[in-house]
């Protein structure tokens, strides 16, 4: 048993050193969280071998977990504080919610697929994470039940950021999302600086699957 445990810890260490640090994730609190929150507990049984691989892991229902380096970079850019109320759109297996919950006061996570809602709730409960609630619903326009939020993270891509979602941020609140359409998407960090002012920084380019029901850009018709 000890050898198996050792292999898992070695794989986790390799993930952090070889995938995550090279992506400029250097915040010590984020790196220590990645050691403590057990990613393998949030990966479906059939894909345990991929828990620490640099890939998107299938969750069933046509959904996938984001690659570890993307999740880690989002977490770093969000700079969650222990007084923050956080909204996550797209619960998936519950792993990102667990990472956020370790830093935040409370996390509201919204998932449109009922099978994944159950998966996330079960995984979070088994991991002993108490400060997350997983709601069944469509978060494509944000989640108007509990705003304003200190931080919002979208665990999928959006062709554009809906105004309604941005307006659910507190002044000083931050949002991280992957914005655009393949092959041109960027992870953006948006900060609400005033009532009607938002500051946007493009962090890096990547391509991930779109959020279900994401608002589409108007297509030009000739």
Give, as one character, the DSSP assignment of residue 53.
S
Strands 85-89, 149-158: pairing is parallel
Element (H, E) at 86: strand 85-89
Angstrom distances, CA of residue 119 to CA of 53, 93, 112, 125, 136: 21, 6, 12, 10, 12
pLDDT of residue 222: 52
**Where do we find the tokens 């504080």?**
81
181 touches 203 (CB < 8 A): no
pLDDT of residue 215: 80
Q: How far apart are CA 65 and CA 56, in angstroms?
A: 5
Element (H, E) at 33: helix 28-36
214 touches 159 (CB < 8 A): yes
Q: Which residues contact 65 (CB under 8 A, 6 or more apart)?
A: 42, 43, 56, 57, 59, 71, 92, 93, 95
pLDDT beneath 50, residues of the chain: 1
Task: Write out pLDDT tens, residues 95-134.
Answer: 999 999 999 999 999 999 999 999 999 999 999 999 999 9
pLDDT of residue 3: 54
Closest CA to 145 of 108, 98, 196: 108
Distance of alpha carbon 116 from the chain centroid = 14
Give, as one character, the DSSP assignment of residue 115.
H
Output b/e per residue, 26-64; b: 16+ Cβ within 10 A: eeeebbebbeebbbebbbbeebeebbbbeebbebeeebb
Distance of alpha carbon 64 from the chain centroid = 12
Give CATH for domain 2-206. Answer: 3.40.50.150
Encoding tokens for residue 110?
């919204």
pLDDT of residue 2: 52
């Amino acid at each position: 048993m000890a050898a198996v445990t050792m292999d898992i810890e070695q794989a986790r260490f390799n993930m952090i050193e070889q995938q995550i640090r090279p992506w400029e994730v250097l915040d010590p609190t984020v790196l220590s969280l990645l050691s403590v929150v057990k990613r393998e507990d949030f990966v479906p049984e059939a894909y345990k071998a991929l828990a620490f691989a640099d890939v998107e892991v299938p969750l069933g229902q046509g959904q996938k977990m984001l690659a570890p380096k993307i999740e880690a970079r989002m977490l770093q850019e969000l700079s969650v504080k222990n007084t923050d109320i956080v909204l996550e759109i797209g619960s998936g297996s519950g792993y990102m919610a667990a990472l956020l919950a370790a830093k935040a006061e409370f996390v509201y996570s919204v998932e449109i697929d009922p099978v994944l809602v159950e998966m996330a709730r079960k995984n979070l409960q088994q991991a002993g994470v108490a400060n997350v609630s997983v709601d069944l619903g469509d978060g494509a326009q944000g989640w108007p039940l509990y705003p304003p939020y200190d931080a919002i993270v979208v665990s999928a891509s959006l062709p554009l950021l809906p105004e309604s979602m941005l307006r659910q941020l507190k002044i000083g609140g931050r949002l991280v999302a992957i914005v655009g359409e393949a092959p041109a998407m960027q992870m953006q960090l948006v900060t609400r600086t005033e009532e009607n002012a938002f500051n946007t920084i493009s962090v890096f380019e990547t391509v991930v699957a779109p959020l279900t029901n994401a608002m589409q850009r108007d297509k030009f018709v000739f």
